[in-house]
Amino acid sequence: MLKIKNLKVKREENLILNGLNLTIEPNTIHILMGPNGSGKSTLANTLMGSPNLEVVEGKILLDSKNITKLSPNERAQLGLFLGFQYPVEVPGVPFIQFLKLAYEQRFNKKTRLGEFLKLVMEHSQKLNVPKKLIDRYLNEGFSGGEKKKAEILQMSLLNPKYAILDETDSGLDVSALKTVFNSIKLIQQETKMGVLLITHYSRILNYITPDFVHILYKGKIVKTGDKSLAEKVEERGYDFIH
């Protein structure tokens, strides 16, 4: 399991996470909600090892291994994946080369380009990712939906044990939202990975059914429930947690 114990995190001199506890088991889907500034993206970036954040107390365990001080690439090799709210464009870097390098690092093995292309096409067809995206530079000129589809393709290829998806629904129209979340659901069902979905909107309940919904407030998880908790947030905002 991915276990977060009494996590306290600073950005510069500001304490953002203040004793956060969370356990994500394999084959479970967790939704994390909370008002702006509550620490949702800070949690995602801390789990992946951002150098801009300082863990001042607590620890992160991935299948009982303490990863609190490991680098992002070491965490990725152990099976942790982060989907960004705003995937960056990297002009001049072919998407296929990026995928191949990430795949080889994740599984510590070299692959022939032809074999890897066949593997990519199998995953892209399953997830309805257009081939034209694979032939371009990494995210360059991609729409918001195309960036998220490309990121879900990365996730499928890297086969993580645990995926943290930071506002994957942000900036997506209804069509892209349906495609992306159907893909996430398909990958999760096939691989049994644990998933933490960070979002502002209960609309994702139309596409995916969580096992748990958590409310993050002032750096702590203050409520946990089922999908009805997300529906309550949609109806009443966060006033009921004060």
Per-residue pLDDT tens digits for 64-99: 999 999 999 999 999 999 999 889 999 999 999 999
Contact (Cβ atoms closer than 8 angstroms) between residue 23 and residue 63: no
CA-CA distance, 72 to 105, in Å (whole number)?
A: 12
pLDDT band at 242 (very low <50, low <70, confident <90, very high): low
Per-residue pLDDT tens digits for 3-33: 999 999 999 999 999 999 999 999 999 999 9
45's tokens: 């970036």
pLDDT band at 134 (very low <50, low <70, confident <90, very high): very high
**Mean pLDDT (the chain, rounded):** 93
Neighbours of 101 (CB within 10 A): 11
Contact (Cβ atoms closer than 8 angstroms) between residue 75 and residue 62: yes
Secondary structure of residue 35 in the 3-state scheme: coil
Secondary structure of residue 206 in the 3-state scheme: helix
Contact (Cβ atoms closer than 8 angstroms) between residue 31 and residue 199: yes
Per-residue pLDDT tens digits for 157-208: 999 999 999 998 887 888 888 889 999 999 999 999 999 999 988 888 888 8
**Domain ranges, ordered by start, for the chain:** 2-241
What's domain 2-241's superfamily in CATH? P-loop containing nucleotide triphosphate hydrolases (3.40.50.300)
- How far is CA 38 from each of CA 32, 34, 69, 194, 205, rounded to the nearest angstrom? 11, 6, 23, 23, 22
What is residue 142's predicted lDDT score, i.e. its pLDDT?
93
Per-residue pLDDT tens digits for 94-117: 999 999 999 999 999 999 999 999
What is residue 202's predicted lDDT score, i.e. its pLDDT?
80
